[in-house]
Chain A
Amino acid sequence: MPDSSFVGSSQKNATTKRDVKQVPFVELYNHRVQGVVSSGSDIERVYVSFFEAGTLDFYCSTNNNRPCGGLGGYPCKHLQAVMKEAIAAYGIDQVINYLKVPGDLSQITSLNDIINRRGTVKKEPASEVFSRFLNYLRYLELQTANSPLPEMSWFV
C-alpha cells in the first residue's frame, strides 16, 4: 500500500487560546523561543523577548533596543508572557523539547518549572526578532487570489 499524502499530527493547531492582544507574536525559531509583547502604556512601543535553547539565557528590550526596565537577574513580565504564549501556541512538550530544558523532564509541567531553570541575561539586539515580527504582520497585507490553488490539497 502506498503512503498517505497527509501527516496527521504536524498539521494540528494547538488548542489553547492565544492572547494576541498582549503577545501579538511568538515563535520557536533559530534555537530560541522568541516573541513580541505590546506595551501596556504606549501603543507605539513593543518589547522584544527571547529565551535561548540549551542555556535558557534570556533578554528583553524595546523595539528601539533599549533594555527593559523590568529585567533584573530574573525574567521580566514580558519574558514570562512570551513563554506563556509559546506554551499556548505550541503546547508545553514542544516548547520544552525545542528549548532543550535541562533536568528531569517529568518534573517540568508548568511555566514556572521552565522559568526556574532559566540561565542568565544575554544582551543581544532586538532587531532580528523585530524584523521577524514585521515579516509576520506582512502576511496580513499580502494580496490574495481568486484563481485555483490545487497545491493547497496537500494542506488541510
Chain B
Amino acid sequence: MAFPGALHQISESNQEIFELIASLDECFITGFANLDEQHLQTLQALERVFTGTPLQSSLSESTQAISTNEFVDKHFAVIATVRAAIQGALFDTLQAQVRSLLGRAAIAEVELKDEAEEPPNNVKVLLASVRHWLMEIALVGYARLDIATLVPFLGTLEQIQAEPLLVRQAALLTGYFNELMRNLPVADSAAIPKYRWVDLWTQAMLGTVRPAILPQSLSISGNLEILGLDLRQHANLVSFTAYGLLNANNQTQLVRVNQSAYKVDAINNEQIWLLFANADILFDAFAQNRVLQIKDVPLLPNGDLLWQGQGELGENYNLIKRAAEFFAENTGHSLIYSTVAASDRHPIQIAEPIYLSNYQVVKNDENIVLSWGDAGELSIAKERISSLSELNLDIIAKSQQIFGLLRFDAGKWSVQPLAVAVKNKITSTGQTAASVIAKKDSIKNSVVGILQERSSRLLRKG
C-alpha cells in the first residue's frame, strides 16, 4: 500500500523517541531544581542515546552539573540543543518517509554561509538575559511556576521587540510569555500542555545560541506564481508564509514569501489584512491568479525570498493546474524544493506541498477525512487552519481538489488545505486580502485605524 495508506505507519524507533521526549519533558514540569531519581535516570538515558555524537561530551558535562545542583545557563542550552536534535532527527525520517511515498527525490542539504559580521553587543546582552530567564523557568518547573517569576522579564521582552535583528525571538517569546501569563499558576499539573510548553522553551533557548544574522542571500529575478498562504497568529503578531513557484533562470523552484506584522488582540477579523498594506501587489496577484514579476529580490539558501513589496502583475496562471502539475503523487515534474534549516527542524515544520483529488469526503465527529478507499485516507489538519482563513470545513467538505501542505502532529499525518476547488471555484486563505486593503476608506473606522489614531494622540505624550 502506498500513499496515503502507508503514511500512517509510525516506526517503532520513532515511538521510542516520542517516549524519550515525554520523559525528558517531565523534568520541566517538576523543575530541574527538584529532580528525583527517575528524572536523573532519564538524563542518563539521554546521555546513552547521544554517545558517539558531537553532543556527547557537552551533554555529559551538563547532566553531571545538573545532577549535582550546579545550575549554569549553558547547561540548559545544551539540554535544549539535545532535545532539538532529537526533533530534528524525527523531522528527517518523517520527511524522507513522505517524500519517498510521493515519489519525490531526497532534498539535498544546502550550504549556509554566515555573514562575517558579529551581532551587536546589545543583542548579545539581551540573549544572555533570555537564557537566564529560561533557566529560571526550567529550575522552578511549570507545575510551580507563577506569574511573579515572569513579570520582571517584560522589560527585556520590550527591548527584544524593538530590535529588528531579534524578530524571531520576539515573535516566539511574546507568544510564549502571553500564554504563560494567561495560564499560570496551573491548578492541575496533569493538564499542562507539556510537549507544547517544553517545545516553546526549547525554541526560545535555541534562539539565544543561533546566529542572529541571516545567512548570505543571492539576488534573483523571475516570475512568481503564488499557490497558497499559511496564516499564523498570536495576540501580538500575525505572520503569513506564501508558497509559490518561482520561474527564474530556466528553472522552477518552490519558494516562500514571509510577511509579518505586530498587532493587538482586538484586531482579530478580516482587518488583519490591513496590517499588510505593503504586500497589496502580492495579494492582487494571488486573488487574480496572475504572475508576480519580481526583480532583484534576495533569496535565502533555504528558499525564502526577502520580498519587500515590489513587483508587477503578469499573465494569468491556473492555480489548481499548476499545483497538480508539480505536487500530485508521482508527478514527473522536477522542481527545486525549499528546505528547512537544520537548526529549525522539528516535526511541526514539515510542510510537504501536495495536490489531492479523486477523494471521497467522510464526516467524522468534528472533522472531515478524505478517503481513497483501499488506498487509505487523510484527515484535515483543522488545528492549522486559522480562524481568519477564508477556508472552513464546510467548503473543504464540498471540494473536489485540494492544494495544501502535509503536516505531522500528535503522531498523525494530515493535510492542511491552502486552496480548494469546488467545481471550478477556488477558495483560498488570503484570497480576500486584496479587496480588504483596496477599501481604503474602511481603515479609518477599523480597529487598526482607531487604535492608530489613539496611538498618535497619546503615545508620544505618555
Contact = CB atoms under 8 A, between A and B. Distances in A.
Interface of A: 1-8, 10-13, 18, 20-21, 24, 29, 38, 43-44, 46, 63, 89, 130-131, 133-156
A146 B387 CA distance: 23
Nearest to B232: A152
Contacts of A3: 22, 193-196, 410
Nearest to B305: A146
Contacts of B458: 44, 46, 63, 133-134, 137
Interface in B251-292: 256-266, 268
A142 to B, nearest CB: 4
Contacts of A145: 164, 167, 258, 260
Interface of B: 18, 21-22, 158, 161-162, 164, 167-168, 171-172, 175, 179, 181-183, 193-196, 199-200, 203, 207, 214, 232-234, 236-237, 239, 241, 256-266, 268, 300, 302, 304, 306-308, 340-341, 344, 347-349, 383-387, 409-412, 445, 447-448, 450-452, 454-455, 457-459, 462
Contact of B182 (A10, A46, A142): A10
Given A142-B162, A152-B233, 13 more contacts: A2-B411, A5-B196, A5-B410, A10-B183, A13-B265, A89-B265, A134-B458, A139-B262, A140-B451, A150-B168, A152-B237, A153-B348, A155-B232
Contact of A141 (B164, B207, B455): B455
A140 B462 contact: no
A137 B409 contact: no
Contact of A142 (B161, B200, B410): B161
Contacts of A153: 232, 348-349
A50 B304 CA distance: 46
B451 A20 contact: yes
Contact of A12 (B199, B237, B387): B387
Contacts of A10: 179, 182-183
Contact of B171 (A5, A24, A149): A149
A131 B155 CA distance: 13
A154 B262 contact: no
Contacts of B167: 144-145, 147, 149
A2 B21 contact: yes
Contacts of B349: 150, 153
Q: Please give me the 5 A-B residue pairs with the lowest Cβ-Cβ distance, nearest first.
A: A3-B195, A151-B172, A4-B410, A2-B18, A137-B455
Contact of A131 (B302, B308, B462): B462
Contacts of B175: 151-152, 154-155
